[in-house]
Amino acid sequence: MIVTFEYRNKKFCSNLANPIDLSIPMKEGSNTVNAWYVDDLKIEPVRNEHFLGSVAEGGNVNFRNIFFNPHGHGTHTECVGHIDQQVHSINDVFERHFFTAELVTIQPEIWASDDEWRSAGDHVILERQLDAVLKKEPEALIIRTIPNPESKARFRYSNTNPPYMCDTAAKAIREAGIQHLLIDLPSVDREKDGGKMLAHKAFWNYPDAPELKSTITELIYVPDQVKDGKYLLEMQVAAFVNDAAPSRPVIYEIE
């Protein structure tokens, strides 16, 4: 299926029959990604005196409860409600689901010295590393960090001090007009930052004038064979009334 679309007075086309899925699926057990100190995701049949939700155990249908945390168990998309006292739902954010996007590969740089909450040796995405891609002014920015082993999709991130983004880089992304930021890390902020959440706040312009229609998608995985460049992005987000929800970002090559 070929679609033609216009962006900034230029026409492009994409083949929707060739999707590239950037999501890490949420699944049970320990052989999958996990972050933020949460227990493993659990999927259990409903069992009570009136009903058995397992065909294998003699029930008529499979009917399972799922216990998970969107932030810790796989690819998820979040809105400013993640850091605001006021309730904002990710389900209210999207008025459309297709966007122009730029994929860029970045090797986070090593932070040189200790300060109040950062440590020498931290791996940080800096503003100057984004200069070239931000000049292209896409609607969405997809960041693949390196190294990028396939095991990243199964990594247990808790207490590992993963790479993160400098708040000035997050601010530059917002000021470039980018509404949707996607990254293959558990957070744009440092794992232990004393609750500062500076990159989140910079991207959402919080609390000054919060960007209610902007989102951050974390824990994606971009395979090595996918080249940097321009794509058509489709944001598939589960309809949860919550600050965040499981998501499936899909990209299509632009011809």
- Quick one: which H or E segment has residue 198? helix 198-204
What pLDDT digit, counting tens, does each position of 67-91 carry?
999 999 999 999 999 999 999 999 9
- The partner residues of 64 in beta bridges, in order of sequence, read 45
Instruction: Give, in degrees to the nearest 5, the angle at Cα 127 between 179 and 203.
Output: 30
Count of structural domains, the chain: 1
Is residue 85 assigned to a domain?
yes
Q: How far apart are CA 140 and CA 98, in angstroms?
A: 10
By the 8 A CB rule, do 164 and 190 touch?
Answer: yes
pLDDT of residue 183: 99
pLDDT of residue 141: 99
Tokens of 253: 């090559």
pLDDT above 90: residue 20: yes
Is residue 91 assigned to a domain?
yes
pLDDT of residue 229: 98
- Specify the pairing of strand 64-67 against strand 42-45: antiparallel
Q: How far apart are CA 204 and CA 216, in angstroms?
A: 9
Instruction: Provide the residue range defining the domain that includes 54.
Output: 18-253
Is residue 146 assigned to a domain?
yes
Is residue 1 assigned to a domain?
no
- Candidates 99, 103, 172; CA nearest to 131 is 172
Q: How far apart are CA 40 and CA 72, in angstroms?
A: 9
Confidence of residue 147 (pLDDT cuts 50, 70, 90): very high
What pLDDT digit, counting tens, does each position of 229-241 carry?
999 999 999 999 9
- Candidates 49, 80, 44; CA nearest to 213 is 80
pLDDT of residue 116: 87
User: For position 187, which CATH number holds?
Assistant: 3.50.30.50
Confidence of residue 58 (pLDDT cuts 50, 70, 90): very high
Confidence of residue 130 (pLDDT cuts 50, 70, 90): very high
- Quick one: which H or E segment has residue 175? helix 167-175
Is residue 55 assigned to a domain?
yes
- 67, amino acid identity: F
